[in-house]
Amino acid sequence: AQSVAQPEDQVNVAEGNPLTVKCTYSVSGNPYLFWYVQYPNRGLQFLLKYITGDNLVKGSYGFEAEFNKSQTSFHLKKPSALVSDSALYFCAVRDGSSGYALNFGKGTSLLVTP
């Protein structure tokens, strides 16, 4: 079985401050991890992924995420938040050893205030 948890329903941060959106995962095989962003009434947009290799992954729009195997985490980060980053963020996991389905977390709403 594979699952992902996003412990925070909402994250508030001031513009210019660093932001972190948390994600932990559970898989029986190799974890393939993804972050997506969704703006209102839109589909999901891919931000970044971890498959193998360097634990620090850089993605679109200045976002990055760090894969931590011992803590089974894959937190999304950005050094300096923009108001336009306000959106719904989803972490997702696929068990690389056994499946094709991508399982998503419940999502975290990010609000960046001016």
Residue 52 or 70 with smaller CB distance to another protein: 52
Shortest distance (Å) from residue 89 CB to another protein = 12
Shortest distance (Å) from residue 17 CB to another protein = 27
Calculate ∠ Cα 9-12-13, nearest 5°: 145
Q: Which residues bind another protein (CB under 8 A)?
A: 32, 34, 36, 42-46, 49, 51, 90, 94, 96, 99-107
Strands 10-14 and 108-113: parallel
Q: Residues with Cβ < 8 Å from 55, sequence gap 6 or more?
A: 66, 67, 68, 69
Shortest distance (Å) from residue 33 CB to another protein = 11
Shortest distance (Å) from residue 24 CB to another protein = 16
Cα end-to-end distance, the chain, whole Å? 41
Residue 22 or 49 with smaller CB distance to another protein: 49
> Counting beta carbons within 10 angstroms of the beta carbon of residue 34, is it exposed (0 to 12), middle (13 to 18) or buried (19 or more)?
buried
Residue 28 or 113 with smaller CB distance to another protein: 28
